[in-house]
Each structure stands twice: as structure tokens, then as C-alpha cells.
Amino acid sequence: MRLIIFGPPGSGKGTYSSILKEKLGIEKISTGDIFRAEVKKQSELGKKVESYLKQGLLVPDEIVIEVVKKIIDEKKDNFILDGFPRTVNQAEWLINYIKIDAIIKINVHDEILIEKISGRRVCSNPNCDGNYNITDIDKVIDGIHYKLPSLLPKNDMICDKCGSKLIQRDDDRPEIVRERLKVYYQQTKPVEEYLRKKGLYFVEIWANREPKFIAEEIISKLSNR
Ligand code: AMP
């Protein structure tokens, strides 16, 4: 299955796609994770993209497309794209390059995003996708009841999966989060309209409960297709 998971920064895309990766046996392709790992390694690519990530700005399309093309060529039939496409250019390239089966669209209110992002902690090991949250949310906005308990590691600030230290991502700081949301509404939201116009199949989910429930709902909606 070839999937895209789409939604604002902090909507839980990374967490849901990690669960879907396990449950559906597909590859997770996260451009954000790839770029962060390259920056840590200080590879040639890492040096090229570092300043964009630091400022919460988008990496130029030609760099992102080259990276994604290489991975898609290897994993052709079974993948979930997390964080790509983020511009109409990237979306146009993608749907002309390969057939996409479904787009999972994650809905969540901005207020919740900001609270959730500021509580996010990730594993410092670039080869591990450990992801946690220290914020506990239980509130109703516009009739949507958000019940998002914290997701804490067993040992204080240590990753359950690999034992490395947990850290806050540089771009999860409030001023950068506001910039990332601005970029999302200006450059990434139009991608949704573009893909809808092109007739791609959308599965919509409110991210108002624990990730495992959201992942179950996604799988059930995908199988009802
Ligand atoms: P993410 O973890 O998906 O929020 O991505 C973190 C950062 O990586 C973004 O703020 C961008 O600087 C960069 N990035 C990730 N994916 C893309 C993309 N598809 N296009 C441009 N920049 C990207």
C-alpha cells in the first residue's frame, strides 16, 4: 500500500505512521527524520538543510524530491510518507511519479497543537524513532473532546526503545512552532486542495484520542475502502 499521512506539525503524524509501519508492515518515510539524522551526522546533505530546519522553513523542493525519489525507488510498493509532500510542486511531482492509494488527513485544533508540541520529547539517537509527550490534555473545543494523556517513558527522560537520552527538538520551541504553523497554512495546506482536486482518496481522522486508537481507526477506514 502507498500512503501519505498529512496534517499540521505536531498532529501526531510521526507517531501514527510508526504504529502503521508495525501493523501494516510498510516502510515509514519521514523526510523530517531523514533531514534531522543528516544534520546530526553533518553530512553534505545535512549541512545544506541545517539552516532551514533551524528556522522552521521548508527545504527547497529539488533537494527534498531527490531524497524522496531515491527511497521510493527502493520501497516502491509499501510505504507511508510522513512530512512529504509539503508544497504543491512536491505533490505534483509525486502523483506523476507513482500512484498513491490513500491520504490520511489528520485534523486537530491549533491550540492543542501548540500544547502538544511543547510537551514533545524525542530520542536523541538518530537511528531510533522513540517519541514521547509530557503534556496531559483533557478538554473540549468546538464539540471535539480531546483526551490525550501524556506518553511518558518508563524511566525518567530515557528512551524505552534504546536507552538513549530524551530531548526536546530545537524546532519544537514556541517561536519556531509558530513559524512552522505559518508555513503549514501558507504552503502546505494548499497541497490538500490540490490532491483533492486531483481526485485522490482521503481518509479523515480527528487526533483527539490516544495514538493506538487513532491508528486502529485509520486501519479500519483503509480496509473499508
Ligand atoms: P517535520 O519533522 O516533518 O516537521 O520536518 C522538520 C523540518 O524538516 C521542516 O520544518 C522542514 O524544515 C524540513 N522538511 C521536512 N519535510 C520537508 C518537505 N517535504 N519539504 C520541505 N522541507 C521539509
Q: What is the pLDDT of residues 64-121, one digit of tens each?
A: 999 999 999 987 789 999 999 999 999 999 999 999 999 999 999 999 998 989 899 9
Does 147 qualify as catalytic in the annotation? Answer: no
Residue nearest to atom 5 of ligand 1 (CA): 32
The CA–CA distances, whole Å, from 164 to 48, 91, 125, 133 equal 27, 35, 6, 16
Longest dimension (CA), the chain: 48
68: amino acid identity, one letter: V
DSSP state, 41? H
Q: Is 177 in the pocket of ligand 1 (CB under 6 A)?
A: no
Q: What is the pLDDT at residue 88?
A: 95
Q: What is the pLDDT at residue 169?
A: 87
Give the pairing type, strands 2-6 and 144-148.
Answer: unpaired
Q: How far is 128 from 54, CA to CA, in rounded Å? A: 21
CATH code of the domain covering residue 26: 3.40.50.300
Q: Is 64 in the pocket of ligand 1 (CB under 6 A)?
A: yes
Domain span at residue 14 reads 2-223
Q: What is the pLDDT at residue 129?
A: 83
Per-residue pLDDT of the chain in tens (225 residues, 90 and over written 9): 999 999 998 888 988 999 999 999 999 999 999 999 999 899 999 999 999 999 889 999 999 999 999 999 987 789 999 999 999 999 999 999 999 999 999 999 999 998 989 899 999 998 888 989 999 999 999 999 999 999 899 999 999 999 999 999 888 888 888 888 998 999 888 999 999 999 999 999 999 998 889 999 999 999 887
Domains held by the chain: number? 1
Which of 58, 89, 120, 183 for mutating ligand 1's site (highest number of atoms within 8 Å of CB)? 58
Q: Is 119 in the pocket of ligand 1 (CB under 6 A)?
A: no
Provide φ and ψ at 153, rounded to 5°: -75, 160
